[in-house]
Amino acid sequence: METLWEKLLFWKKKPKMLEEGVDYEFINLNDSELTGIGILKGEYQGVVYHYHKVRVVEEGDLARLQFGYTIVNPGKHDIDSLTSDEILHTMMGDVLSSILSAKINEQTRTNDSKESDL
């Protein structure tokens, strides 16, 4: 079931950063070229989903993180209740923010050929 969710991000405020391997993990989905996200702890432990149609919509100093997702495995939850669960949606937005931030930091580190002056 495809769902669209938006998360309002306050770029001046740091979003809750979740950690790969601690809070979530990447999962190769069988018979697919997609990579899933598995939640490793908390109320949603065992839930597996994947993102699609991710975009950032800037609005002045604010930005809205807009993404679609599909739940692959609801874990111990009812899939219908998960699609309307705002706490889960916020967590998915936090995971996506963490992934995007890590990717940006990784590109910044690998694209800078200047030696650090530390």
* Mean pLDDT of successive 10-residue stretches along the chain, which has 118 residues: 51 66 93 91 96 87 87 95 93 91 68 51
Q: How far apart are CA 5 and CA 83, in angstroms?
A: 10
Per the CB < 8 A criterion, the answer to whether 26 and 35 are in contact is yes
Listed by start position, the domains of the chain span 2-108
Q: What backbone torsions phi and psi does residue 68 show, to the nearest 5 degrees?
A: -105, 160
pLDDT of residue 59: 81
108, two tokens:
């910044």
Q: What is the pLDDT of residue 78?
A: 95
At 97, give phi and psi (nearest 5°). Answer: -60, -40
What pLDDT is recorded for position 113?
56
> Quick one: 114 exposed, middle or buried, by C-beta within 10 A (0-12, 13-18, 19+)?
exposed
